[in-house]
């Protein structure tokens, strides 16, 4: 396992992402609300570029106590990233596929040294 | 350009680049040495509505042509062809939809759709692709049978005269029939049936009233069979129909719609003994996945055993006729591997299943979806990806390794 330089932390804006290629590995690094997350860029479905699509809040449905639906809403506490090939949707915080959380993208450790961000791969 | 996600992040991208988007598909192809395997995609699409300016002038009837061209004028209201409801792009999550117009092509080169097609075909290592329209999959909902014919005719001329030749014949097609106009359908087969790049004819199955067994269609089937071409039924959703109006989500209307229309028309085809009437006509059912087939086989066999008097033309069980027909693979439901293996056994997938990508639509499948299945033989892999389609459509191998593999697995035919 080696530390691979990603970026200066000060130049990595919130909401940005970078794709790092290390031999056969591709790693997507996101910065979301000040924290870094790094996952394999190979979608568990058909191998698409899992980290290169939209990032969007998760969708939930509001059910009232009487079990009637009050409609869909974006869950502001969540954040997903979406494989652009077919829409496989992953939890930003865990790398889990949100429709089946047993499926998880490989997660990589991020190390910050001063203003420098490294991924451990 | 920003992708729209008002309640999430925006993704800024310069432009869509299909080659870059499908870089992982190209890696899969290299890893599996797909260059040595003839890969024939029996169902891919383009957006012909973006080219109506080129297509509509091929309409024959001057009055209808004037109506169609005029309706497209700026400020016009209404559509030339029927459209459907839906959110294929999943709210922008499938990025090639909102970004499609940003992709650059060479204005002095081949037609835009040819250039785009070569990009994704090369990335997937697809050698030949059967090009279908997208919007015209709803042509069966047009209220005017005359306009249905005119639009099918104009598209057929444009795609065979302008698009396929520019693709170096890597595109082929099964031309959309104006099925609401049986005489027009027959005329289409007679006129276009022997043109280069025409592998067969396609019936769009999204129709409110369509009896595939109606006597009015027999001459068309006979003409297709006589020419050694394929008859394909391409399914689709119709969210606006009374059947599906209770569905409040796209997923429901889509999952059920594609299955339903193939189930409906395949039932009528089988029960009315069309397999006995046209035993040499290859029939291909497209884009409903595979899980509907074992259901229908069991359901029809069960009822046939009780009510054979309603199906006097049949000489064997409905499932036996269904096993004589072909099925496109996409969207393959790889959820329960045991169920999928059973499905492959029930449909004789080794000889009857044809690879389809459905690219660029949202639920496309790569060749690896078939290639990587753990329970299929090498022969089945080669047959499903291209060997069986090679025999049906007479598409030549593109290199010596492909030819050797076709020979090895007993598929090589000479034109």
CATH superfamily of B2-408: Metal-dependent hydrolases (3.20.20.140)
E-assigned strands of B145-192? 171-176
CA distances from B246 to B117, B235, B252, B264 (A): 37, 20, 9, 19
Written as six digits, the tokens of A46 are: 């058909």
Strand partners, B234: B204, B286
* Both structure tokens of A15: 């909401």
State the nearest Cα–Cα gap between B125 and chain A, in angstroms.
15
pLDDT of amino acid B67: 93
- CB within 8 A of B239, min separation 6: which ones? B84, B85, B86, B245, B247, B250, B253, B257
Whether A46 sits inside 8 A of B366 (CB atoms) is yes
Q: Which residues of chain B have pLDDT under 50?
A: none
> Looking at residue B37, what is its pLDDT?
98
Whole-number Å distance between alpha carbons of B209 and B236: 15
Tally of domains in chain A: 1
pLDDT at B91: 94
Q: Helices B23-31 and B112-124 meet at what angle, rounded to 10?
A: 40
The predicted-structure confidence for A55-110, as pLDDT tens digits, reads as follows 999 999 999 999 999 999 999 999 999 999 999 999 999 999 999 999 999 999 99
Q: Mark yes or no for CB contact B93/A74 under 8 Å.
A: no
State the pTM of this model. Answer: 0.95
What integer pLDDT is reported at residue B83 of this predicted model? 85
What local confidence, expressed as pLDDT, does residue B95 receive?
A: 94
Contacts of B302 by beta carbon, 8 Å cutoff, 6+ apart: none
Contact A87/B at CB under 8 A: yes
Report yes or no: B293 and B346 within 8 Å, Cβ to Cβ: yes
Chains A–B, number of C-beta pairs less than 8 Å apart: 66
Taking CB atoms and an 8 Å cutoff, what residues of chain A touch B23? Answer: 49
CA angle B340, B344, B346 (to 5 degrees): 110
CATH of the domain at A21: 2.102.10.10
The confidence score (pLDDT) of residue B12 equals: 59
What's the pLDDT score for residue A1? 80
**pLDDT reported for residue A38:** 98
* Residues of A with Cβ-Cβ distance to B10 under 8 angstroms: 15
ipTM over 0.90: yes
Q: The tokens of B177 are what?
A: 């029939």
Structure confidence at residue B204 (pLDDT): 96
Q: How far apart are CA A120 and CA A107, in angstroms?
A: 10
- Measured distance CA(B311)–CA(B68) in Å, rounded: 44
Q: Which residue of B has its CA nearest to A84?
A: B94
Residue with tokens 């939809």: B97
Cβ neighbours of A84 in B, within 8 Å: 21, 93-96
pLDDT of residue B209: 82
How many angstroms separate the CA atoms of A45 and B208, rounded? 35
Query: What are the residue ranges spanned by the domains of chain B?
Result: 2-408
- Judging by beta carbons within 10 Å of its beta carbon (0-12, 13-18, 19+), is residue B152 exposed, middle or buried? buried
Nearest to B11 among A42, A54, A87 (CB): A54
Tell me if the bond preceding B195 is cis, omega within 30° of 0: no
Buried b (16+ CB within 10 A) or exposed e, B17-43: ebeebbebbbebbeebebebbbbbbbb
DSSP structural state of residue B80: S
Asked if the C-beta of B7 comes within 8 angstroms of chain A's C-beta atoms, the answer is yes
Specify the residue for token string 């890969």.
B39
Residue A58 confidence (pLDDT): 96
**Rounded-to-integer distance, Cα B230 and Cα B221, Å:** 10
């Amino acid at each position: 396992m080696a530390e691979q330089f990603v970026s200066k932390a000060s130049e990595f804006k919130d909401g940005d992402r970078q794709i790092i290629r290390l031999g056969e590995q591709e790693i997507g690094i996101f910065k979301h609300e000040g924290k870094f997350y790094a996952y394999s860029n190979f979608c568990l479905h058909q191998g698409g570029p899992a980290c290169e699509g939209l990032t969007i809040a998760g969708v939930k449905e509001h059910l009232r106590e009487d079990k009637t639906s009050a409609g869909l809403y974006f869950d502001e506490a969540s954040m997903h990233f979406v494989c652009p090939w077919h829409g496989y949707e992953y939890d930003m915080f865990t790398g889990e596929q949100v429709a089946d959380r047993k499926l998880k993208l490989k997660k990589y450790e991020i190390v910050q040294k001063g203003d420098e961000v490294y991924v451990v791969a | 350009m920003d992708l729209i996600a008002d309640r999430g992040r925006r993704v800024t991208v310069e432009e869509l680049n299909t080659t870059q988007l499908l870089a992982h598909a190209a890696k899969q192809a290299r890893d599996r040495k797909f260059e040595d395997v003839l890969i024939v995609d029996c169902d891919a699409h383009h957006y012909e509505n973006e080219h109506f300016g080129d297509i509509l002038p091929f309409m024959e009837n001057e009055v209808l042509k004037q109506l169609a061209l005029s309706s497209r004028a700026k400020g016009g209201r209404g559509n030339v062809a029927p459209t459907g409801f839906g959110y294929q792009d999943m709210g922008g999550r499938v990025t090639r939809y909102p970004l499609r117009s940003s992709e650059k092509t060479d204005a002095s080169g081949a037609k835009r759709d040819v250039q785009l097609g070569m990009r994704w075909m090369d990335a997937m290592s697809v050698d030949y692709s059967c090009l279908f329209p997208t919007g015209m999959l709803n042509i069966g909902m047009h209220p005017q049978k005359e306009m249905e014919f005119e639009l099918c005719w104009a598209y057929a001329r444009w795609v065979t005269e302008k698009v396929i030749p520019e693709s170096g014949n890597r595109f082929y097609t099964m031309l959309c029939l104006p099925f609401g106009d049986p005489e027009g359908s027959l005329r289409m087969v007679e006129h276009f049936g022997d043109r280069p790049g025409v592998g067969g004819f396609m019936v769009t199955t999204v129709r409110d009233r369509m009896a595939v067994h109606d006597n009015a269609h027999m001459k068309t089937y006979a003409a297709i069979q006589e020419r050694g071409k394929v008859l394909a039924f391409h399914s689709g959703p119709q969210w606006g129909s009374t059947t599906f109006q209770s569905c409040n989500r796209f997923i429901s209307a889509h999952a059920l719609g594609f299955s339903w229309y193939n189930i409906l028309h395949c039932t009528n085809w089988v029960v009315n003994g069309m397999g006995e009437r046209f035993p040499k006509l290859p029939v291909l059912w497209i884009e409903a996945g595979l899980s509907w087939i074992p259901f229908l086989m069991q359901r029809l066999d069960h009822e046939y055993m009780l009510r054979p008097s309603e199906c006097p033309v049949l000489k064997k069980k409905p499932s036996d006729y269904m096993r004589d027909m072909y099925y496109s693979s996409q969207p393959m439901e790889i959820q329960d591997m045991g169920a999928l293996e059973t499905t492959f056994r029930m449909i004789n997938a080794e000889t009857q299943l044809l690879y389809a990508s459905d690219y660029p639509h949202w639920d496309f499948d790569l060749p690896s979806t078939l290639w990587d299945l753990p329970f299929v033989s090498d022969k089945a892999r080669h047959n499903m990806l291209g060997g069986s389609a090679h025999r049906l459509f007479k598409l030549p191998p593109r290199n010596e390794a492909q030819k050797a593999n076709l020979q090895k697995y007993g598929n090589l035919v000479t034109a």
